[in-house]
Amino acid sequence: MLHAVPDLLDTLEARLIAGEDPMGLLASIRWSELVGWPQDRMSAQALQRKVASIQALVNGLQAPLRATLMGLSGGTGYSRDGNLAGGPVLAPRVQGKV
């Protein structure tokens, strides 16, 4: 079964948005038989943007799971400034020869 790369990405994105499991789609692909690769720079950049948007979508879908696992593990999360909440704050000390 031949799959065109842009159509495959559109279908994958649609399944993720609909909350469907994409594993059936991904398992049916013969990766060596993918067709429809970009022929010029503009279409390659469009394909790259599409892949980046799908990656952002997957990361967004994983966020609640990560938060749940972090809450169940009993570990502390991160504070507003990006440091570990409740963790020790280490100040770097720079020493030099005068």
Q: Which tens digits make up the pLDDT trace of 10-22?
A: 999 999 999 888 8
pLDDT in tens, 21-66: 889 888 888 888 889 889 999 999 999 999 999 999 988 888 888 7
Q: pLDDT at residue 95 above 60?
A: no
- The vertex-73 CA angle with 69 and 74, nearest 5°, equals 125
SS3 assignment, position 3: strand
pLDDT score, position 19: 87
Amino acid in the structure at residue 14: A
- For residue 85, what pLDDT band results from cuts at 50, 70 and 90? low
